[in-house]
Amino acid sequence: MDTPRPRLGILEFAESVLGIRPYQWQRKTLCHIEAGHPTALTACNGAGKTSTVLVAAALWCLFNWPRGRVIVTSASWSQLKKQFFDTIRLQARHPLFRSHTFNEAEVRTREGGFVIGLSVDEAGKAEGYHERPDSPVMILADEAKSIADDVFTSLLRCTATWRVYASSAGPACGAFYSCLTTFRNFWACVLVKSSECPHISQESIELDRAMWGEHSPQFRQKHLAEFTAEGDQDCVRLPPYDGVQDWNLRNRIEIRCALENEVHAQDFGSLLCAFVHGDIERIGRESWDQGNRIFLFGR
Ligand SMILES: Nc1ncnc2c1ncn2[C@@H]1O[C@H](COP(=O)(O)OP(=O)(O)OP(=O)(O)O)[C@@H](O)[C@H]1O
Ligand SMILES: [Mg+2]
């Protein structure tokens, strides 16, 4: 089936209907989606993949094709609900979407179209979605680097009008990584660094560079959107740190909360700085039990 022509283009929709002012890389990604190119978006953490690109694409599909079917999955069901569906629900009162029904993990149109969230277990069995002229199919996979290969195998059995896989970077393996490498010729690949996202402060980028080192997997994955191979330097020990004032409040609070909530028995009174082996946002009791290291630099 040829890629259908919308009554409103995706950029116009994002800007004039949703009120988004997309960055250059978001415009490029949205244009690839509109053109029907299978699109693999690798972007730094917090770039706007979920809330700006995927949500806009899903609503654009329903707006133009009220009988359209949008299947969205993510490595994490709770993130799918919290990030994708909480954001899409912000549009529930929009005059153009008033006739839609917004539920916890789905949006339904009066005409029978929908955006439906599938857990990876369900997506792994999702083979029955095939495009029809009156009801195109859009497949969105978020946090794609952490979705198991067999889920992608099932998703590929669906006949999709639009297919978008979005992710931050991670270890250099898996189905999403192969879209960017082995199967690169079949995908429109967009790679986005923190420096291309004006809402990510230069200060926070520099802080991470100083803390982890610019060649560390942590920095390369989080800010440069680079996949890193096993065996790359994965743990950098900071020199003793005596410049607490260099930390912006947000980072200090994040570290403190992560430690207080998930890891016990530290003396926060003397905490100057912490370094976590791994992604600070993912630190938990599990990472502690697995022997990941936390360095505290006390007074
Ligand atoms: N064009 C834009 N203009 C203003 N803010 C933006 C823009 N694009 C993204 N943002 C902001 O970026 C932030 C992060 O968005 P989002 O959660 O969608 O990122 P993400 O790439 O999915 O992050 P993660 O890596 O955690 O999954 C949001 O607060 C959003 O408002
Ligand atoms: Mg996201």
Is 147 inside any structural domain?
Answer: yes
Same domain, 184 and 39: yes
Instruction: Say whether 287 sits in a helix, a strand or coil.
Output: helix
Is 2 inside any structural domain?
Answer: no
Same domain, 129 and 109: yes
Q: Is the CB of 48 under 6 A from ligand 1?
A: yes
Beta strand residue intervals within the chain, DSSP E: 39-43, 69-74, 101-102, 106-108, 114-118, 137-142, 162-167, 188-192, 271-276, 294-298
Closest ligand 1 atom to residue 20 Cα is 1
For residue 157, give both structure tokens: 């059995």
Is 3 inside any structural domain?
Answer: no
What value does the mean pLDDT of the chain take? 81
> How much distance in Å is there from the Cα of 27 to the middle of ligand 1?
14
Same domain, 35 and 124: yes
Q: What is the DSSP letter of 5?
A: P
For residue 172, give both structure tokens: 């250099």
Same domain, 43 and 140: yes
Residue bearing tokens 């967009």: 190
Q: What is the pLDDT of residues 189-214, one digit of tens each?
A: 999 999 999 999 999 999 999 888 88
Same domain, 50 and 140: yes
Q: Which of 196, 228, 244 is the last residue of a domain?
A: 196
> How much distance in Å is there from the Cα of 43 to the middle of ligand 2?
10
pTM, full prediction: 0.80
Gap between the Cα atoms of 215 and 41, Å rounded: 22
Same domain, 105 and 218: no
Same domain, 226 and 192: no
Structural domain total, the chain: 2
Amino acid in the structure at residue 127: E
Long-range contacts, stretch 280-286, CB < 8 angstroms, 24+ apart: 280/254, 280/255, 281/45, 281/254, 283/258, 283/259
Same domain, 27 and 145: yes
Average pLDDT over residues 99-124: 94
Q: Is the CB of 83 under 6 A from ligand 1?
A: yes
Same domain, 61 and 153: yes
For residue 282, give both structure tokens: 């993912």
Tell me, what's the pLDDT at 128?
A: 82
Tell me, what's the pLDDT at 231?
A: 52
Closest ligand 1 atom to residue 54 Cα is 18
Q: Which of 173, 196, 219 is the last residue of a domain?
A: 196
> How much distance in Å is there from the Cα of 266 to the middle of ligand 1?
33
CATH number at residue 60: 3.40.50.300
Is 98 inside any structural domain?
Answer: yes
Same domain, 88 and 224: no
Mutate which of 23, 29, 44, 51 for ligand 1? The one with the most ligand atoms within 8 Å of its CB, which is 51
For residue 172, what are the domain limits?
10-196
Q: Categorize the per-residue pLDDT at 117 as very low, low, confident or very high, splitting at 50, 70 and 90.
A: very high
Q: What is the pLDDT of residues 132-181, one digit of tens each?
A: 999 999 999 999 999 999 999 999 999 999 999 999 999 889 999 999 99
Closest ligand 1 atom to residue 43 Cα is 21
Tell me, what's the pLDDT at 122?
A: 85
Tell me, what's the pLDDT at 1?
A: 82
Cβ proximity of 186 and 37 under 8 Å? no
| pLDDT above 50 for 262 | no
Is 1 inside any structural domain?
Answer: no
Closest ligand 1 atom to residue 46 Cα is 23
